[in-house]
Amino acid sequence: MIKVTRLNNSVLQINAETIQSVEANPDTVITFINRDRLLVKEPVEEVAQRIVQYRRILMHQSPSAGPPGASGWLPAA
């Protein structure tokens, strides 16, 4: 998830995996794979940098670690 700011100053966390494109028109428009669009205050370059940073974090996580919070926990039988 990445944090963005709507034009009304509300902060929103969005799933970076569902972003199809980011463009300046002149406001920054994020288009999702389902064709929904979101106008944000951050410039295109900043949104792109946040996506790259998010993906770097995912790539550096240990594959043996499993999902967050799953270590040592088992569901009740």
Segment 7-47, tens digit of pLDDT: 999 999 999 999 999 999 999 999 999 999 999 999 999 99
Please give the pLDDT value at position 58.
87
Within-domain flag for 69: no
Domain that holds residue 48: 2-59
Total domains in the fold of the chain = 1
User: Over the stretch 36-53, which tens digit does the pLDDT of each residue have?
Assistant: 999 999 999 999 999 999
How is the chain split among helix, strand and coil, in percent rounded to 5?
Answer: 25, 30, 45
Residue 30: Cβ within 10 Å count: 23
Please give the pLDDT value at position 61.
78
Within-domain flag for 8: yes
pLDDT at 71 over 60: no
Reported pTM? 0.75
